Chains A and B, each alone.
Chain A
Amino acid sequence: MNPLPLVAVAGSPNAGKSALFNALTGARQKVGNYPGVTVERHSGRLTLADGRPVELVDLPGAYSLEPASPDEAVTRDVLLGRQAGERTPDALVIVLDASNLDNHLRFALQLIELGLPTIIALNMVDLAKRDGLELDSKRLSVELGVPVIETVAVRRRGIADLQAAVDDMLSAPFCGVHERVKSDLIHLQRRAREIATAAVVSETPVRRWTHRLDSVLLHPVFGPIILAAIMFIMFQAVFAWSEAPKSWIEDGVAWFSNSVGPMLPAGLLRSMVVDGAIAGVGAVITFLPQILILFFFILLLEGTGYMVRAAFLMDRLMHGVGLSGRAFIPLLSSFACAVPGIMATRTIDDPKDRLTTILVAPLMTCSARLPVYTLIIAAFIPNTRLVWGVGLQGVVMFGLYIAGITGALLAAYVLRRGVLKGNSGGFMMELPKYQWPPLKDLVIGILTRVQIFLKRAGTIILGTTIILWALASIPQAAPGQKQSEVSIAGHIANGIETLVKPIGFNHDISLALLPAMAAREVSVSAIATVYSIDSPGEKAGATKLADKLKHRWSLATALAFLAWFVFAPQCISTIAVTRRETNGWKWPLFMVTYLFVLAYAFAGLTYWTAVALGL
């Protein structure tokens, strides 16, 4: 069977390429990776009017075929048929921002010179009109020598016409691609401007929305205040809005556990399912609502175009520690999870800037630390009110976030003056027009994240909880002995304990540290599993767990445990993604070492200070 015809979608950043791709393919998308490089490959299937399927691939946004970033290099290589793991496309759809023709046409001219069958999607014609710009797409088509279809991808306008044009294009005979692009950039840019001028029917200067919004949002005084307010609302939402759905999930897990338990014969199997699998995975999926809300905000800020403004506002401060404003986006995403955060560093052009950002990203308090923080704070920090609306528990939580951010900035500062010494790169970004992202695109983005999270819960977390359960349950304790001490895990923990005893960690913590390497949130389920195996009569539950901790840990130990989690690189996924993004083991090993040293030092300092203060 012949492979499906392959149509590549190319265009400059902010041309609305992804929205057009979503409109053409719907939610049936595959996200993969190009072999050997760290660039995502998005593909989907388009069904033509007569039912023939076509494979559509969304190429990374690029300004030209002369790459200035790894993403742009992939775009070039795919189009020239040189990219490993990709066929040469049979046809090309070029997406252009109608209101930015003089710039985007340069890339289009370069692409047309390749000689592939090509269609131009003249996108966002509605926004151009709003800005008083009237274009003649027929004239444009004559000048360029390829079909031009007007589209508004976010409202699905022109999509049917575009599909029909793709159909026509694939039916026509095709005579192979040109090997090289002939014209130089400057020449192309001038030609692009001529064509853009020719295609303009009328242009009435109007005060642009984006300009008006920017004069407030990028205002030297109000800009930073608004940014701080947005961050505050975002974190408030992550904690406040998630309360109700979180308790529903907890109830659901408890109901499930109570229904499944009696169906199994009492003994090892029931213990494995109820105490191991359900308790472990259940403890983790309760954080799904928080992760959803955080990603909702991040995708919304990105989709509206505000994220780039945030980078603009923060650039000078980030520059002070040797990072660029571009690092703001990956670091902000790292509050959800360092894995997408580290993947988002691909937008940073400068290699040293990018590496520094990757190395400090795990210091941003990711959502997987929340279960740990929440549990320890609930158990040890009294819920006293400091002033109206501000409680001591909230202040401690906020303090932990600040500790992570401060740690990240200081680490970046030191790295940039030590191992990653050198000129800090530039900050060059396009400030796109503000627009409201289509709900559908937001939903697709969030669903992709949910899928990744649940897959993690279903594989790594389920696997580690069952292994931990086995290690903690075998061999079975004789009456009078404590299960957590005679088991295999107990013996391993004894070894770890000698190392971490000086910083105030006890046997339970030593036991939790090992499985927490798989994922930080597992340490909560690990402690829960150990305690529920130790006392099989009791039901596991977050409040119960907090009560148990209160009796078994001192306050100094609890604080040291929190300090440890601010720094410790306890996450195999983060280490794996760092290896992938840096193409080797050198930097992930460096990251793990420096973070463990910091974690040990700060946990120790916290413990010794707390003991000296008599806590």
Chain B
Amino acid sequence: MNAPFHPQTTSLDSLAMGTRARVTSVDWGALEEAEACRLRHFGFDEGVTVEPLHLGPFGRDPIAIRVGRMTVAIRRRHAGAIQVQPIQ
């Protein structure tokens, strides 16, 4: 992962439910083209506020995340490519 270092940054999949955070970087290279395209469509981008809301009942996967005014479901693997900084 070549994300720039930020104090207290963490990947989106390790963020606790209900914690609001700001996206600091997205490792687009770790995703397939169509997946990256879909994430962009959902509005994932640097500076956007996200909040994980729900976890899938089996294996804590997928994750439902609020991004902007939308709620979207993505797999844990994809959330791992997104670096965030929790908002105090």
Contacts and interface: CB of A to CB of B under 8 A. Distances in A.
A103 B54 CA distance: 21
Contact of A431 (B32, B43, B72, B78): B72
Interface stretch (A19-27, A61-69, A382-390): A61-69
Interface in B34-78: 34-35, 37-43, 45, 53-59, 61-62, 64, 68-75, 77-78
Contacts of A313: 56-57
A163 to B, nearest CB: 29
Contacts of A427: 62, 73-75
A102 B48 CA distance: 11
A428 interface: yes
A218 interface: yes
B69 A312 contact: no
Interface of chain A: mostly helix, strand, loop or mixed:
helix
A189 interface: yes
B71 A430 contact: yes
A325 interface: yes
A316 B41 contact: no
B34 A103 contact: no
A34 B77 CA distance: 35
Interface string A296-328: 000000000000100111011101000001000
Interface stretch (A149-157, A219-227, A524-532): A219-227
Contacts of A224: 57
A312 B70 contact: no
Given A101-B69, A316-B58, A66 B37 contact: yes
Interface string A197-229: 000000000000011001100111101100000
Contacts of A106: 43
A115 interface: no
A100 interface: yes
B38 A428 contact: yes
A84 to B, nearest CB: 23
Given A221-B57, A224-B57, A102 B43 contact: yes
A42 B41 CA distance: 24
Contacts of A193: 68
A429 B34 contact: no
Interface residues of A, number: 42
B73 A429 contact: yes
Contacts of A68: 34, 37-38, 41
A218 B17 CA distance: 13
B37 A186 contact: no
Max chain A C-beta neighbours (<10 A), residue from B34, B61, B71: B71
B59 A316 contact: yes
A349 interface: yes
B42 A428 contact: yes
Contacts of B64: 214, 218, 312, 431
Contact of A428 (B39, B43, B53): B39
A312 B73 contact: yes
Nearest to A101: B69
A185 interface: yes
Contacts, number: 108
A357 interface: no
A438 B36 CA distance: 35
B40 A430 contact: no
B69 A316 contact: no
B43 to A, nearest CB: 5
Contact of B57 (A66, A99, A220): A220
A315 B61 contact: yes
B45 A186 contact: yes
Contacts of A325: 62, 73
A96 B68 CA distance: 15
Chain A CB count within 10 A is highest, among B56, B58, B68, for: B56
B82 to A, nearest CB: 13
Nearest to B66: A211
Contacts of A429: 72-73
A463 interface: no
A407 interface: no
Contacts of B73: 308, 311-312, 315, 325, 427-431
A351 B3 CA distance: 31
Given A68-B34, A312-B56, A189 B72 contact: no
Nearest to B35: A426
Interface in A140-187: 185-186
A101 B57 CA distance: 31
Contacts of A317: 58
Contact of B68 (A103, A219, A311): A103
Contacts of B45: 186, 189
B45, B59, B69: most-surrounded residue (chain A CB, <10 A):
B69
B72 A430 contact: yes
A193 B46 CA distance: 13
Nearest to A349: B34
Interface in B5-54: 32, 34-35, 37-43, 45, 53-54
Interface string A47-65: 0000000000000000110
Given A315-B56, A316-B59, 15 more contacts: A102-B68, A102-B69, A103-B43, A106-B43, A186-B40, A215-B54, A220-B57, A224-B57, A315-B75, A317-B58, A325-B73, A425-B32, A426-B32, A426-B78, A430-B71
8 contacts: A100-B70, A103-B42, A220-B55, A308-B73, A317-B58, A427-B73, A428-B35, A431-B72
Q: 10 nearest interchain CB pairs? A: A63-B41, A316-B58, A218-B54, A220-B57, A431-B71, A68-B37, A316-B59, A428-B38, A100-B69, A102-B68
